[in-house]
Amino acid sequence: MKRIIIFFMLFFCSTLVLTEVSPTKLKYKQIHQKIELLKTIVKDKDAELLHTPENPVEACLYTAVTCFKKGIQKLQPVSSQENAKFTRAIRIVSKLTYRDSGEHCERTCDSYGKKTPKEFLMAFASLMQ
């Protein structure tokens, strides 16, 4: 009987370990959720157009993430009532880090086209997926 109980306890513990999501995946999922939230509360009319990297090649991912992080700081909330949620979401998204691969990228933020804040956030969400 003891062996059966020990077996089930080990089986249960091993299943918990296998189903645990890595902290990195959780972080990216949280950032993606905040980007989706920002789409609903960001000012889109009369807002500054932002350089928007789209479909960056592997060598330019670091540059693209850097551009998105710079652009996020230029966003504005649609109303002052949304300011607290907006600020919290910006703070979380700004913590995104991506290591430079060391490959040379010929693109800079200025070389990407400018788009509205909502299109900018859609491209950022696409990159995060």
pLDDT value for 8: 67
For residue 17, is pLDDT > 60? Answer: no
Three-state DSSP class for residue 76: coil
CATH of 33-102+109-128, one of 2.60.40.10, 1.20.1250.70, 3.40.50.300, 1.10.1740.10: 1.20.1250.70
pLDDT value for 115: 92
Q: What is the rounded end-to-end Cα distance, in angstroms, of the chain?
A: 48
The pLDDT confidence band at residue 119, using thresholds 50, 70 and 90, is very high
Give Cα 122 to chain centroid, integer Å. 11
Average pLDDT score, the chain: 83
Three-state DSSP class for residue 50: strand
Q: What is the pLDDT of residues 84-100, one digit of tens each?
A: 888 999 998 888 877 77
Residue 27 in contact with residue 78, Cβ under 8 Å? no
pTM: predicted TM-score of the whole model, two decimal places: 0.75
